[in-house]
Structure 1
Amino acid sequence: MSAHPETDIAVRAAARLGQSPTWDTGTNSLLWVDAAARTVHRFGPDPRDHELEVPHAVSAAKPRSGRGLMLHLAEGIALFPDDDEQRTWLVYWARDGFVGGVSAVDTRGRLWASTQHEDAAGSGWLARVGGDGAAAAVLDDVARGTGLAWSPEDTLLYFVDGPTRRIDVFDFDAPSGQLSCRRPLCHVSDGEPRGLCVDTAGCLWTTVGSELRRYAPDGTPDRTVSLPVRNPTACCFGGSELTELYVTSAGQDPEAGELDGSLLALTDLGQGLRTTTFAG
């Protein structure tokens, strides 16, 4: 089913590779990054978009229980204060040719972060990182992680490895953080799913091509939203009631449109799950 909800340009920007939108409940603002420009953005709580340049390739910024931010960098996971660029490494796993992929924080405050080779050769991994820096690889042979989210009941983990054109689902044990029984939830024949978030009804949202799509909990596609950008990259729910759906986009493609690189905001698409801060 196609739909045309109201779409606003929340931030008219020229991000080369906007990605990883994350709602920060504590500050009532949206974190997102321009991975190619090594820039962290915070939209709100005032109407402005604030920028922080960091001296590393950054794939995500997440709120943390301590002061400042947790940053997913090419070399590992670092803690940054809000007021300067000083970093403290929590986990350092630098390897030549590897960059950061997708990341998300679970309900226990643990970070799940993928790392991948620049040529998407399938030699990357998905790691689970605790607030104390204890890290464990939970999935190998990741080519290009592009989506990660949990079900409302916290019993399933969804993961997208872009080149497979598939959303996979695992059984998830929240207390231990263990995964089991990986299987395909759905296949996407006409493009790579990029970004992933889940609403309170258990439906999954992702971007494919120039569209935002919703899949029912059983993997059935049930809604399509056309977007005014050619290269959307990720999505998340935000706002005080978690009823605004934010979409990042990339403007580095030679065929990018006028609005590519901007941050979009859509309404009347449901309500998202409450986000969790990183416990570090």
Structure 2
Amino acid sequence: MSQAKVSIALGSIPCETGLAEGPHWDADREELFYVDVVHHSVFRYLPKEEECYKVEIDAEDISVVVPVARERNKYIVAAGRTVQLIDWDGLSTTPSEAKLLHTVDDELPTNRLNDGKCDAHGRLWAGSMGEFDVKTGKVRLKKGSLYSFEGVLPEVHFGQIDIANGLTWSPDNSVMYYIDSNSGRLDAYDFNLESGTLSNRRTAYNFRSAGTLGLADGMTIDTNGNVWVAMFGGQGVVQIDPRVGKQIGLVEMYANRVTSVTFGGTNLDTLYITTAGAFMPNDKLEDFGLGAGQLYQAVNVGARGLSGGVSYAGII
């Protein structure tokens, strides 16, 4: 891999005392959306203008934002255990409307949804996780489930998840890659795009046996079918060939709380990287590397994304 050039995304709003996550590139508008989980905020970043706008939502733990297909100012957000539809003009500090669409894990009220994104049909996938203790950093294990949202009711695909995280699909949409961070694995499933069903779970890469530093978090995929995984507490973003189970590249970061990644830019050759700051009570910002909590961009990474993020096309 060529030598990547990493810098802070100019004009973006940092999350130095928060948890930036869930970057989504809107290719039509050439805008990046991301969230601050801790401060229940959604950001709209315009790289050409070097401008960023923030909306605060009256809900806990905003972990996903996805525009709604063919709807200019409507967005799907995951908030706590809910999936909501918000109406936001992209400029105001509060949404003009919020509508509850779904609630999951009713029997586990301290759960919350974590990472998520849409497949090529516009079906939203998001996994839940157990209660996170902000004082100790511990999570209640085996309490989460993986859901998809498209129709009137959510569909649950499997449970026993510790920390639901990265999702992405192969270039031909025949494989879904998935990360449960605590498992230390990148898993692969045969994926039926038409029906939205999974089968034949197997390990595509084992972070622990490979000695990869950090906890696997969000990820994306390039045109060659290689996945790029943000390593929380590690060296940065690792590039993995999941077909042979081998790390083939690394984008090194000063900030070590790297949370997620996506390709963006006019040619889909800029890697946008979210990071976390001091979001737990005993955190000291300086302990997590220079620029913790900032939005970064990496160029000259030697790869391009498949497409922009897919908008939600399900029932609203």
With normalisation by structure 2, the TM-score equals 0.84
Tell me which moved more, 198-207 or 219-228. 219-228
Q: Is the 8 A contact 1:237 1:244 kept in 2?
A: yes
Q: CA RMSD in A?
A: 1.6
Q: Which residue of 2 aligns with 1:279?
A: 313
1:86 to 90, 93, 97: 97
For 2:27 and 2:4, the matched residues in 1 are separated by: 24
Q: How does 1:37-186 map to 2 (within 5 A)?
A: 37-44=39-46, 46-56=49-59, 57-65=61-69, 66=71, 67-83=73-89, 84-93=95-104, 94=106, 95-118=108-131, 119-130=139-150, 132-186=151-205
2:98 counterpart letter in structure 1: R
Contact 2:205 2:246 in 1 (8 A): yes
| C-alpha distance in 2 between matches for 1:182 and 1:14 | 35
Q: Is the 8 A contact 2:88 2:97 kept in 1?
A: no
| Cα deviation 1:159-182 (Å, max 9, x = unaligned) | 000001110000001100110000
Deviates more, 1:162-171 or 1:94-103: 94-103
Q: Secondary structure at 2:38's aligned position in 1?
A: helix
Residue in structure 1 matching 2:217, options 186, 194, 198: 194
- In the TM superposition, what whole-angstrom CA distance separates every residue of 1:140-160 from its partner, at most 9, and x where no partner exists? 111101211000010000000
SS in 2 for 1:193: strand
Aligned to 1:213: 238
Question: Is residue 6 of structure 2 the alignment partner of residue 7 of structure 1?
Answer: yes
* Structure having the larger proportion of residues in strand: 1
Whole-angstrom CA distance in 2 between matches of 1:220 and 1:156: 17
The alpha carbon displacement at 1:251 in A equals 0.4
Q: Structure 1, unaligned stretches of length 5 or more?
A: none
Deviation at 1:233, TM superposition (A): 0.5
Quote the offset at 1:99 in angstroms.
1.3
Identity, in percent, stands at: 26
Q: Which runs of 5 or more structure 2 residues have no equivalent in the other structure?
A: 90-94, 132-138
TM norm structure 1: 0.94
Partner of 1:245: 271
The answer to whether residue 238 in structure 2 is matched with residue 236 in structure 1 is no
Figure out how many residues of one structure are paired with residues of the other and give that number.
278
Following superposition, the deviation at residue 27 of structure 1 comes to: 2.0
Residue of structure 1 equivalent to 2:136? none
SS of structure 2 residue aligned to 1:7: strand
Instruction: Determine helix, strand or coil for the equivalent of 1:163.
Output: helix
Deviation, structure 1 residue 12: 5.9
Instruction: Report which stretch shifted further, 61-70 or 30-39.
Output: 61-70
CA distance in structure 2 between the partners assigned to 1:106 and 1:9 by the alignment: 29
